[in-house]
Structures are given as C-alpha cells and as structure tokens.
Amino acid sequence: GQSLEQPSEVTAVEGAIVQINCTYQTSGFYGLSWYQQHDGGAPTFLSYNALDGLEETGRFSSFLSRSDSYGYLLLQELQMKDSASYFCAVRDGGSNYQLIWGAGTKLIIKP
Amino acid sequence: DAGVTQSPTHLIKTRGQQVTLRCSPKSGHDTVSWYQQALGQGPQFIFQYYEEEERQRGNFPDRFSGHQFPNYSSELNVNALLLGDSALYLCASSFFGGSGANVLTFGAGSRLTVL
C-alpha cells in the first residue's frame, strides 16, 4: 500500500532554521510536493521535486532522495507567519497517478 | 485574477440528506480535483475531472459523485449523508498535462457538518 510519514509537530524559534522530513512508500513515484496550510485556510503550493537534489525558492528549500524514498522541506529565517501545517504529497503511479498526502506537520514558532 | 472559488463556505445537513458543493477553477485551469479533509488530517483524494469526465477516483463510495461543466466548473454531490462525511471539502484546480499538473491551486473549502 501507500504511506507517507512526517512528524506530527515541530517547534522552532523565530529566525531559526527548521527541517520537516517526509518518508514515503508507494508502488510508483512521480514526484514529491509540499503544501502549506494555515488554520482555517486553503493549502497553498510550495514546491515540487521530481528528481534528486535540492530546489530552492526564497527562504524555502525542498530536497528529494528517490533511492531513500525520502524528502524534506527546509525553512530558513523563520517568521511568525510561517506557523502553519505542512503537507508532503506524492504522485503515485501505482494508484493511477493520484496525489497521496501525508497527515501533515504542525509547525509552531516561538518568539 | 480570481483563484478557485467554492460555495457554500459552511453548511449543516442531517443524516440521509443530499448535498451539492460547487467549485469554479482558477482562470486558465481545465482540471478540477476534489478532496475531503478531516480535522487534523491530510486531504484525501475523492476524484478528478477533466474534459467533463471523471479521470481518476480515490477510495470513496458511489455516494460521492461529481460533474464538470463546459466552463470547467465542477460540482460534488454526496447522497445519503453519514455523520462521518462531516469534513472540509476542498476543490483544487490545475492545468492538465506537463508540469502544470503538479501545481494545485486550492479553494478555501466548504465545511460540511452532518448532524
């Protein structure tokens, strides 16, 4: 079956760096995505990795290792507005290319 | 440029009733996907519509059905509501094919409460 594992909660200090990990198990892999969702809001797209390596977009970076079935989201220079839930999602070729989502990581930022 | 709009934002139904949720995709997008999100959980894929046809379906019963119109807007219908159907229903639009398929734009959702 398919599964994605990510920590349920991470706490960090404003201005610091935090890494949110995601490990996946799918029958076919066609890319790892990250979405941010504030309480009561809609998920918003952050990044997409199809190939191994690091993708950087401003303060956010996303990494993928297909051989390890592992990826992470790196948030730098944390701001209070980054407090939200972060979801990893994998496009699974074994499930007709559906997007399979993790349960989300709640990021708590303290001043 | 309007993003994805959903209606209604909140609604309350009783068990056994039927509900219809509506979604207008982002301008330029031709594909609509529907998700169910329970509190504290990740979105669960219900189905995807492209060219007015259901292209993919998640593990949801036939009580969940949908439609896509020629203007790309979409409806989600749920029949014979159960208490467990209480959730946030999210609509996401994208552009079919190529890298655009990997970038979903979500609406704010319709929160359904079944009593």
**Which residue in chain B has the smallest CA separation from A95?**
B58
Are the CB atoms for B31 and B47 separated by under 8 Å?
Answer: no
Mean pLDDT of A30-59: 94
B33 to chain A: which residues are within 8 Å by CB?
Answer: 99
Mark yes or no for CB contact B106/A44 under 8 Å.
yes
Mean pLDDT of A77-81: 97
A103: left (phi over 0), alpha (psi -120 to 50) or beta: alpha
- Kindly give the pairing relationship between strand B31-37 and strand B44-50: antiparallel
Of all residues in chain B, what percent carry a pLDDT higher than 70?
97
Task: Provide the pLDDT for residue B1.
Answer: 59
Mean pLDDT of A37-63: 94
- Render pLDDT for B35-61 as a digit per residue (tens, 0 to 9): 999 988 999 999 999 999 999 899 999
Mean pLDDT of B69-82: 97
Task: Provide the pLDDT for residue A28.
Answer: 83
Task: Provide the pLDDT for residue A68.
Answer: 95
A94 to chain B: which residues are within 8 Å by CB?
Answer: none
Mark yes or no for CB contact B42/A91 under 8 Å.
no
Are the CB atoms for B33 and B43 separated by under 8 Å?
Answer: no
CA B39 to chain centre: 16
Which position has the token pair 């950087």?
A56
Mark yes or no for CB contact B99/A48 under 8 Å.
yes
A45 closest CB neighbour out of B104, B107, B108: B104
The yes-or-no verdict on residue A91 having pLDDT over 70 is yes
B109 closest CB neighbour out of A42, A44, A103: A42
Residues B14, B12: Cα–Cα separation, whole Å: 7
Tokens representing residue A2 in the block = 């398919």
Mark yes or no for CB contact A99/B90 under 8 Å.
no
Chain B nearest C-alpha distance from A88 (Å): 9
Residue to mutate among B54, B104, B105, with most A CBs inside 10 A, is B104
The yes-or-no verdict on residue B20 having pLDDT over 90 is yes
Mean pLDDT of A2-28: 94
Single-letter amino acid code for the residue at B51 = E
Please give the backbone phi and psi of residue B83, each rounded to the nearest 5 degrees, phi first: -55, -35
B95 to chain A: which residues are within 8 Å by CB?
Answer: none
Which position has the token pair 């996401």?
B92
Q: What is the mean pLDDT of chain B?
A: 94
Mean pLDDT of B19-43: 94
The yes-or-no verdict on residue A94 having pLDDT over 80 is no
Confidence band of B91 (pLDDT split at 50, 70, 90): very high
